[in-house]
Every structure is written in C-alpha cells, then in structure tokens.
Amino acid sequence: MAAVKVPKLEDSDMLYEQYGKPLEPQHRGEYLAVSPHGDTLIGPDLDELIDKAVEKLGPGNFIFKIGDVAVGKWL
C-alpha cells in the first residue's frame, strides 16, 4: 500500500493559492478543507465542516477560511 504524502504546515500557502484563491469571489468567509490528494469540501460553519472533513477526508488535511489569512491542520 502506498504511503500518503501529508502536506506540512509550510505547504499551506501553496495549497491556499491552488484551491482557496479561486473560490474567493463566490465563497469569501466560508471554510475550505483540502486533502493531500486535492479533494476539497466547502461549508459556512467551521465545526460542521471539520466534522464532515474528518469523516470524508480522514487525517492530515488543512482547513482554511476563504478570503482571510487563517489556516489549521488536524492530524
């Protein structure tokens, strides 16, 4: 089984530029979860999105607030 490359916190700027920046016009103020494979989930409520992302994406992902400089990672 191939190991999954888990992005490091240092990768967050690149991930946001690739997946978050294009969403700013339509989704500013919402939250974005990004997996190591580029899978994304968007939602208006941080707690609900985290629960959904943990269930659907698993560990090792990032969550951003679209349009603001805010990032988090769960293991």
14 vs 32 pLDDT, higher one: 32
What percent of the chain has pLDDT above 90? Answer: 51
In a domain, 18, yes or no: yes
In a domain, 3, yes or no: no
CB-count burial class (<10 Å; 0-12, 13-18, 19+) for 64: buried
Whole-model pTM over 0.85: no
In a domain, 40, yes or no: yes
CA distance 32 to 15: 11
In a domain, 39, yes or no: yes
User: Is the pLDDT score of 21 beyond 60?
Assistant: yes
pLDDT band at 2 (very low <50, low <70, confident <90, very high): low
Domain count, the chain: 1
Give tens-digit pLDDT for 59-68: 888 889 998 7
43 vs 5 pLDDT, higher one: 43
Structural domain for 34, as ranges = 9-74
